[in-house]
Amino acid sequence: MSGPAKTPEAHREPLLRIAKRSDISIGAAWLIRIAAILCALLAGAVLILALGHNPVAVYRDMAEGALATRTTRVETVKIAVPLLGAALAIAPAFKMRFWNIGAEGQIMAGAIAASYFALYQYQNMSRPALMICMFLAGAIAGGIWGLIPAVFKARWGTNETLFTLMFNYIILGVEKYLQNGPWRKAGSGFPKIAMFTAEAKLPKLLGVHIGWIMVLALVVLMFVYLKYTKQGYEIAVVGESVRTAQYAGMNVPAIIMRTMFLSGAISGIVGCLQVAGADYTLTEGTAGGVGFTAITVAWLAKLNPIVMVLIAAALAVLKKGSHTIQTNFKIPASAAEVLTGTILFFMLGCEFFISYRLIARGRKERDHG
Amino acid sequence: MGKNPIAIRRMGISLAFVPEDRLGMGLVAGMGMVDNMMLRSYRRGKGIFADRKPPKQLAEEIVDRLEVVTPGVTTPVRRLSGGNVQKVLVGREISSSPTVLMAAYPVRGLDINSSYTIYRLLNEEKEAGVAVLYIGEDLDVLLELCDRILVLCGGRVSGVVDGRTATKEEVGLMMTHMAGEGGRT
């Protein structure tokens, strides 16, 4: 009961087919990435032209605004530090396929805990002790904020994505309460928290708060931790297959909780850096979306801490540059964001062409991916 | 029962297990042979760092001894063919010199050649005095391989027979509910 047999001619090859690449040389991969950046700049240029500006001038100002002078470089590094820190925090969780999108909240939790010491305990201890207390408090608070969703996931299998996301809003609510209530600066018409005193401010090195050194040290530590330690190995196995981890006798709930505490604790330290190094006070915007942008950083870097340095730097340059062109060319903030988004889109999209290739119709391709 | 693998090891029983779902349970599909060899032994040694030298040696040994076809010991095992994946898994389990070796459908989805390699390995273990627990459905294989066959049907033990004297018909009947009433000898 078969229908008429199809002749080979009846089959039309699709215009483009997609084949998986087996292996791609590092050089070729970078060629694709460079091409993607060029495409991104071209697409951005179209956008800038549509806004009625000269693309070359806008790009030049972007680069200059982010990198030209010492002051602008300091500003750029200040943007990059929390981004890199939060991306490092996310790395172990994501490696474990625990989708922690709560770095934002964990940063805030750390920031609140550190602020308590900065605001109310500064007169009771020496400066080094205060600093250590702030960092410990930040790490523990952030760690607990990351641990709670992990406990629920490990015990009752709750969805960690929703859980960590919702926790962001809870801690933001806590911050607003403190800002409008108990921690509100006395005599201020606008609800805000007092500025930190000099004791609670992070010292500077080369013009930027010393957080940058701490974050760079964390890069190395995280790289070694994930790649060479037993715990790093456990994280990788749990991420690949929980059943295999159980088969090997690993205590999966304990690993999930331990890793999330670590992830939250690093975010908490970032929160501490933000209040003590960058803002010198606690506000609603202390985390400022860093916890979400860090997901992009971590993902673009394929969870490799060393690559994250480059990605965080690139994103910081884009962000600082877009601030500059907003003032220089009166480009609205939204349009500048579209421009950054376009460039990011190409950077993310080119990963597809690194993993797959397109083959046009009629091309004879014999070798299998 | 109801003990986790670590507790069993602490009791002094070296249990090796070849699960039926190779890439979903016994091995980590995205890791290379070296990292998969570590799965059983990574806790060994002091300190926080994992020692990758012994697993690397073990991986190379298994490649040589079991003729595993792979581009390298760090190639993700997902990319290997089913037979080679199984050789990696069985090789690792045997290398722990177990007292009990459990194998659940160890030749599921394998070609004839790889299947016989696995049978040969199981027989070698048997000769070395290892208690081999083989879970399978193929009657010919069961009769060839086993000393004793325990037949389960509908969640109950329907009989234990001697592998050397049992016939296919006998075992086959026990695998159905028919054996329950009058089939028992």
Which domains, and CATH codes, for chain B? Answer: 5-136 (3.40.50.300), 137-185 (no CATH)
Residue A337 lies in a domain: no
User: Mean per-residue pLDDT for B91-99?
Assistant: 87
Q: Nearest by CB to A244, from B4, B28, B48: name it.
A: B28
Q: Do B28 and A241 touch (CB under 8 A)?
A: yes
Q: Do B29 and A241 touch (CB under 8 A)?
A: yes
pLDDT digits (tens, 9 = 90+) for B124-133: 888 888 899 9
**CB contacts, 8 Å: B27 with chain A:** 244
Residue A4 lies in a domain: no
Residue A49 lies in a domain: no
The ipTM value here is: 0.83
Residue A353 lies in a domain: no
Q: Do B5 and A231 touch (CB under 8 A)?
A: no
Distance to chain A for B182, nearest Cα, Å: 41
pLDDT level of residue A192 (50, 70, 90 thresholds): confident
pLDDT digits (tens, 9 = 90+) for A19-37: 877 677 788 888 888 888 8
Q: Do B38 and A236 touch (CB under 8 A)?
A: no
Q: In whole angstroms, what is the distance from residue A332 CA to residue A201 CA?
A: 34
Q: Nearest by CB to B42, from A233, A240, A241: name it.
A: A233
- Which amino acid, A197? T
How much is the pLDDT for A350?
84
Distance to chain A for B28, nearest Cα, Å: 6
Q: Do A243 and B39 touch (CB under 8 A)?
A: no
pLDDT digits (tens, 9 = 90+) for A50-96: 888 888 888 888 888 888 888 888 889 999 999 999 999 999 999 99
What tokens appear for B36 in the block?
A: 């998969």
Q: Nearest by CB to B38, from A233, A241, A249: name it.
A: A233
pLDDT level of residue A363 (50, 70, 90 thresholds): low
Residue A247 lies in a domain: yes
How much is the pLDDT for B140?
86
How much is the pLDDT for B180?
52
* Higher pLDDT among residues A210 and B7, named by residue: A210
How much is the pLDDT for A10?
61
Minimum CA–CA partner of B45 in chain A? A230
Q: Do B25 and A243 touch (CB under 8 A)?
A: yes
Chain A positions with Cβ closer than 8 Å to B = 228-234, 236-237, 240-241, 243-244, 246-249
CB pairs under 8 A between A and B: 54
pLDDT level of residue A195 (50, 70, 90 thresholds): confident
Q: Nearest by CB to B26, from A229, A233, A244: name it.
A: A244
Residue A165 lies in a domain: yes
Distance to chain B for A307, nearest Cα, Å: 21
Over 70: is that where the pLDDT of A267 sits?
A: yes
Mutation site for A-interface testing, chosen from B20, B48, B85, B93 by largest number of A Cβ within 10 Å: B48
How much is the pLDDT for B185?
44
H or E element, residue B62? helix B53-66
Q: Do B49 and A228 touch (CB under 8 A)?
A: yes
Over 80: is that where the pLDDT of B104 sits?
A: yes
Average pLDDT, chain A: 87
* Higher pLDDT among residues A368 and A265, named by residue: A265
Which residues lie below 8 Å from residue B157, measured CB to CB, with a gap of 6+? Answer: B150, B151
Residue A328 lies in a domain: no
The range of the structural domain enclosing residue A205 comes to: 80-311
Q: In whole angstroms, what is the distance from residue A78 CA to residue A162 CA?
A: 30
Minimum CA–CA partner of B38 in chain A? A233
Among B32, B145, B146, B45, residue whose Cα is nearest residue B92: B32
Q: What is the percent of chain A with per-residue pLDDT over 90, rounded to a whole number?
A: 45
Q: Nearest by CB to A240, from B26, B30, B49: name it.
A: B30
Residue A229 lies in a domain: yes
Distance to chain B for A239, nearest Cα, Å: 10
Over 50: is that where the pLDDT of B182 sits?
A: no
User: Mean per-residue pLDDT for B136-147?
Assistant: 87
Distance from the first to the final alpha carbon of chain B = 31
Domain count, chain A: 1
How much is the pLDDT for A237?
94
How much is the pLDDT for B184?
46
